[in-house]
Structure 1
């Protein structure tokens, strides 16, 4: 796995520590002479923490992190909690390290952004910025499935931090009662493409262990498991390990859900169920649209992650609208890059890539766990020639294996330590 923070990045940050904190912002505006640049980071997840750690290393900027939760919970690897193999605490961390870095942490939600006045408005205060980093995560498109909004508590999505407990309860009830457990998979883009298949596999493992009667019906809007390079090893694992527990149906579009009758209407007919994990299509939160930064997702420039609408605003993680996979690892790397880029701009050292220049983008390793002891590694590398769409390359294990399962857990601990260790 690529080390978190390259030598090049460390060298840049050391240079920033010796540079003046007051200078021209280049293409991103100016900071008044005599002031410390103010950077506001919205969202204390993977992308936001990547930005905070890079910015705080310089000691040159005033950083405000706005995050409504008291602590951090990892979505990656939390399937082990959802399926009942690990406690939730294994995937939770305190923000104590962030506080110790001198970051001002505001436990609140951002309601509006005044881009002209360079302020963000929370429920309780207005916070000024010179640079704004948005790592807002996502929201669910409930209107995409008629009948869902009225019954959301019965059919949790569980793709945002601290929502996993609702899906865990649903899975635990199914494992005790048996029946038909429907899991839906939307078309991309959605957070962590392997996650729905992981859920099916790990819950199926528990079914085998507990002797649960019934099956998991995996209703996939796609032709095969996502991302496409994962399809062959994931399908093989589901067939070989869970042929009696998982019924996989591809190219099926959910049309509506009837909570009372417990029926999912689809393009291939009605599917009755006893329990359901409805994974809806996703988009950036309404804040992005309200601020005029994009529609379904924020419109940004690569390789900078700057908003196409405002050069003082950067968007990383799931809210950005490029073809990059919506992965925690990529979000963290993008946050780091943006933090370093802001520091370089402050110091007058940032140089924009020229049109056609090939630039490496944040890389990632993702994992598709198919059991507690087996996983499929997905290595993602990306680059972009300025002005062109990004080029994305996948390297995937040919089959689930024990080494990748151990690697997934080692990776998780390393990433959590990089963010909050």
Structure 2
């Protein structure tokens, strides 16, 4: 299975160059005795897409800033959370990145000094000529009263390695039974199908283990998100898990009381034994502190260049465009930005396109059982002066073919990033 995520290479090269062919006053290239410095913040799907593209060409001095020692995939990790696969199936080492010549800084970013072109970490300041930000998401804890105080007992699990704590909650529920609450916030948030996927796979384990109780799926939306997958998601819920999942659409969670183990919602109080509350999300604080956006980073399409700074690119789930917040889109935008930066370095950036330009392809999988899934493909394009146009192609129902393809896709993508 091909893992190339850059459709129509010429168009994407043009895309990366829109607004970049000339940097203000003739800065179309960066010349110095040493290689230009590119700092990439975030070692997830987007950051690794950028790093691999930059290292393959060899035209830049690349630094990856990532606090974790290794990589853990969020896509497909519901199979670990529900107890079907070990965590090791979704983890990889950054050894290949080291071998290819990137400098890897295992620290957290504490600030970005755009005036000095420096990334500030806990111990050092990293100068850059170009900066690629792919820091993922943070949770809007103030969206649910009482959540901040209960954080340790209510892990969200939408960031790498947080899945471990959610898995512990699931294991306890499967052993003890009771009410297990899973919530879905209003978009935009990372991987919209994920709350439903988690509910499905946990419900499958309930059936296999004979767990007494139910999953209460509280959805702030009137239908499963994104809307094009609503019908196959609802069909899977009804046909397979009618006895295990109680679906509550258009319900907002207002407060959590861990002492009483009770949620205050727009539909009344709901008691629970265990809960996986998936909070509203936004870009991490570094985006706001650097003046790059508010809830999400403000970027130009198709380049993913910051609207505030021509030397900064924001990709992955932190960027604020209508594109899906998915791993595949993040990796594709990372590759695209790497090509744009290399074009600027060499002074060979392609001329802007006058017509519509393809944006990174989105491929996603919503598992309904451990062996069956719904495939979701999203193609998108943008024309100058227009909003992006998205087209969804979705399996009409869950099937084994898509379940097997999801595994092949994951293995191929992880190899492309870290193999």
The TM-score range, normalised by the shorter chain, is: over 0.9
Counterpart of 1:379 (choices 377, 380, 395) is: 377
Partner deviation per Cα, 1:336-371 (whole Å, 9 max, x = no partner): 0000110011111113425x6200000021001010
Change beyond 3 A, Cα 1:68–1:10: farther
Counterpart of 2:418 (choices 391, 416, 420) is: 420
- What corresponds to 1:124 in structure 2? 123
1:181 aligns with 2:211: no
Change beyond 3 A, Cα 1:53–1:9: farther
**By how many angstroms is 1:3 displaced?**
4.2
- What corresponds to 1:363 in structure 2? 361
Distance 1:31 1:236 in 2: 55
Partner deviation per Cα, 1:69-111 (whole Å, 9 max, x = no partner): 0000000000110000000000000001100110000000111
Summarize the alignment of residues 18-417 of structure 1 with structure 2, pairs less than 5 Å apart: 26-27=22-23, 29=27, 31-354=30-353, 357-417=355-415
TM-score w.r.t. structure 2 length?
Answer: 0.95
Distance 2:100 2:10 in 1: 17
Distance 1:335 1:110 in 2: 19
**By how many angstroms is 1:268 displaced?**
1.1
Partner deviation per Cα, 1:239-265 (whole Å, 9 max, x = no partner): 110000000000011111111111111
Distance 1:419 1:146 in 2: 39
1:4 aligns with 2:4: yes
**By how many angstroms is 1:282 displaced?**
0.1
Between 401-410 and 29-38, the greater mean CA deviation after superposition: 29-38
Q: Is the 8 A contact 1:62 1:103 kept in 2?
A: yes
Change beyond 3 A, Cα 1:12–1:281: closer
Partner deviation per Cα, 1:50-85 (whole Å, 9 max, x = no partner): 000000011111000000000000000001100000
Distance 2:297 2:7 in 1: 31
3-state DSSP of counterpart to 2:329? helix
3-state DSSP of counterpart to 1:181? strand
Q: Which runs of 5+ in 1 are unaligned?
A: 14-23
Q: How many residues align?
A: 410
Partner deviation per Cα, 1:179-224 (whole Å, 9 max, x = no partner): 0000010000000011000000000000000000000000000011
**By how many angstroms is 1:373 displaced?**
1.3
Distance 1:394 1:2 in 2: 20
Q: Is the 8 A contact 2:5 2:331 kept in 1?
A: no
- What corresponds to 1:16 in structure 2? none
**By how many angstroms is 1:33 displaced?**
2.9
Between 69-78 and 263-272, the greater mean CA deviation after superposition: 263-272
RMSD over aligned Cα atoms? 1.8
Question: Larger RCO: Structure 1 or Structure 2 (Cα < 8 Å, ≥ 6 residues apart)?
Answer: 2
Distance 2:6 2:161 in 1: 31
Distance 1:84 1:420 in 2: 25
TM-score w.r.t. structure 1 length?
Answer: 0.95
Distance 1:74 1:302 in 2: 26
**By how many angstroms is 1:27 displaced?**
1.8
Q: Is the 8 A contact 2:3 2:416 kept in 1?
A: no
Q: Is the 8 A contact 2:12 2:357 kept in 1?
A: no
Distance 1:10 1:38 in 2: 26
Distance 1:135 1:99 in 2: 19
Q: Is the 8 A contact 1:183 1:279 kept in 2?
A: yes
**By how many angstroms is 1:140 displaced?**
0.2
Change beyond 3 A, Cα 1:333–1:132: same
Distance 1:216 1:79 in 2: 15
Distance 2:293 2:103 in 1: 28
- What corresponds to 2:17 in structure 1? none
Distance 1:11 1:402 in 2: 34
Q: Is the 8 A contact 2:305 2:311 kept in 1?
A: yes
3-state DSSP of counterpart to 2:377? strand
Change beyond 3 A, Cα 1:386–1:246: same
